[in-house]
Amino acid sequence: MKLSDQAKKVVVLQSNYIPWKGYFDLMRSADEFVILDDVQFTKRDWRNRNLIKTQHGLHWLTIPVKSKGLQRINEVEISEPDWHVPHWKTISRSLCRAAYFDRYESELHRAYLTAGEAQFLSQINLIFIELVARWLGIQTRITSSTDYPAPDERTQRLVSICQMAGAREYISGPGARGYLDEELFKQAGITVRWFDYEGYPPYTQLFGDFEPQVTVLDLLLNTGPDALRYLVREVKPEQS
């Protein structure tokens, strides 16, 4: 495995289905974004579902998958081949009045048709992750953890991936604070930086009060080319 001489800041994160805006903000903070899909799939999680705002409130869009006990994310297969049909109907009906729906409709619909032909969950997630990254103008290199064979131990796996990717800095979401061993990164000469999702400004949504945790599609279809403005977090003043 050749070490990358380009990646200085690396993020390693599991793939999600049409993720929320913070996922892409974390992505754009790095030089390389490694999708960690050769780890255990977790049920009732963001891997195969996400929230959309509708006139009836928040609604889960869930990709039906085959349950086989312990399996890696990239081994998870789709159980219903026509899952994409109701997903697209829900999106188009709920967001057709969004200011920029017409701008993205055709390409997003084609993406759903393509995703409907995929056999594995990871393939579907990648279709939408790459599409949204392109729409947002994110230049971060997207790779897979399967490109970097690493040990199974949680933190050591991340350290090994970072080393093979040529990282000098590892950027992690706040959820990993409970288990990440920063000392292992320090021993490898890699700095850990904790990402903060707080401070995103609200934007104009359909259907009542602002809901921050919905799919990034809501942001794009409502704000269009201004979407990146809403990924600039407000810096909170330090308390004396």
CA distances from 109 to 8, 19, 117, 218 (A): 35, 17, 13, 15
Q: Are 120 and 76 in contact (CB under 8 A)?
A: yes
Q: At a CB cut-off of 8 Å and minimum separation 6, what does 65 contact?
A: 41, 48, 76, 77, 78, 79, 121
- Predicted confidence band of residue 1 (pLDDT cuts 50, 70, 90): very low
Tokens found for residue 94: 């709920």
Minimum mean pLDDT range among 1-5, 42-46, 75-79, 229-233: 1-5
Tokens found for residue 60: 């889960």
What residue has token string 């979401």?
173
Tokens found for residue 189: 């000469």
**Every domain of the chain and the residues it spans:** 9-225
Give the distance from CA 216 to its chain's centroid.
Answer: 9
Report the pLDDT value the prediction gives residue 131, as an integer from 0 to 100. Answer: 98
Report the pLDDT value the prediction gives residue 4, as an integer from 0 to 100. Answer: 45
Q: What are the pLDDT digits (tens) for 177-224?
A: 888 999 999 999 999 999 999 999 999 999 999 999 999 999 999 999
What's the chain's length in residues?
240
| Average pLDDT of the chain, as a whole number | 92
Q: Which range, 64-78, 128-142, 225-239, has the best average confidence (pLDDT)?
A: 128-142
Q: What are the pLDDT digits (tens) for 47-94?
A: 999 999 999 999 999 999 998 888 999 999 999 999 999 999 999 999
CA distance 71 to 91: 30
Average pLDDT over residues 90-119: 98
Decide if pLDDT at 2 tops 50.
Answer: no
Report the pLDDT value the prediction gives residue 7, as an integer from 0 to 100. Answer: 52
What is the distance between the terminal CA atoms of the chain, rounded to a whole angstrom? 49
Average pLDDT over residues 15-41: 97
Main-chain phi, psi angles of 32, to 5 degrees:
-140, 135
| Global confidence as pTM | 0.93
Decide if pLDDT at 235 tops 80.
Answer: no
CA distance 90 to 17: 15
Q: How many CA atoms lie within 13 A of 35 on its CB side?
A: 25
What is the sign of the dihedral through the CA atoms of 90, 96, 97 and 102? Answer: positive
